[in-house]
Amino acid sequence: ALNRYRKRQLALRAKLQKKRTKSAKRRLKERSRREARHVKNTNHIIAKTIVTEAERTSAGISLEELKGIRQRVRLRKPQRVALHSWSFAQLGDFIVYKAKRAGVPLVFVDPAYTSRTCAECGHVDKRSRVDQGLFICRGCGVVAHADRNASHNIATRGESVWNAGRESRVPATP
């Protein structure tokens, strides 16, 4: 829904930018602020949903560390617009503060190869990601939705990061 909203705003912005009048520039500023408020509200809603679900199920949250993604990723122009207008840092910040407030454990994991690794056998191959939505493992042949497979990998990494940072509960030997 947010992408549709942004697409509509993009068209309206282009229309106003073509006019190049003082009132059009004023309207553009107004639209910019309105879009920012809409995105911020949507991010709050998404973050709240994620944190309340984690709190309800007594689970933790694993997020990818996406710093520098805009410099790393190479995409076509329409995809670039979607990526560069996505405020993932803001969403991440909202999730962090809401999780902290609710007492939900949260860890950041390395996103490298999460979409190329099989969640079942751990086989890593670029060709396993057949297309945007389909993952077929070249190692074990498992077929899964690509995003679901990547989310399982992120969850597994999050669990290992969490366990690595946790204190040992083994009693000390006398």
56 burial level (CB within 10 Å; 0-12, 13-18, 19+): exposed
Amino acid at 79: Q
Q: Which of these ranges, 19-28, 82-91, 94-103, 136-145, has the smallest mean pLDDT?
A: 82-91
pLDDT of residue 18: 93
Per-residue model confidence as pLDDT tens digits over 133-166? 899 999 898 999 999 999 999 999 988 888 887 6
Instruction: Give me the mean pLDDT over the 11-25 stretch.
Output: 92
Q: Which of 2-16, 27-41, 70-84 has the highest mean pLDDT?
A: 27-41
Instruction: Give me the mean pLDDT over the 113-124 stretch.
Output: 90
CA distances (Å), origin 164, targets 29, 61, 111, 157: 48, 15, 17, 10
Q: What is the mean pLDDT of the chain?
A: 86
Q: For the chain, what is the total number of helices (H) and then of strands (E)? A: 6, 4
Per-residue model confidence as pLDDT tens digits over 37-82? 999 999 999 999 999 999 999 999 999 887 776 666 676 777 766 6
pLDDT of residue 169: 58
- pLDDT for 130 beyond 70: yes
pLDDT of residue 174: 60
Instruction: Give me the mean pLDDT over the 106-129 stretch.
Output: 90
Strand partners, 122: none
Go through 86-108 and write b for each residue having 16 or more CB atoms within 10 A of its CB, e for each that does not: bbeeebbebbbebbeeeebebbb
- pLDDT for 168 beyond 60: no
pLDDT band of residue 98 (cuts 50, 70, 90) is: very high
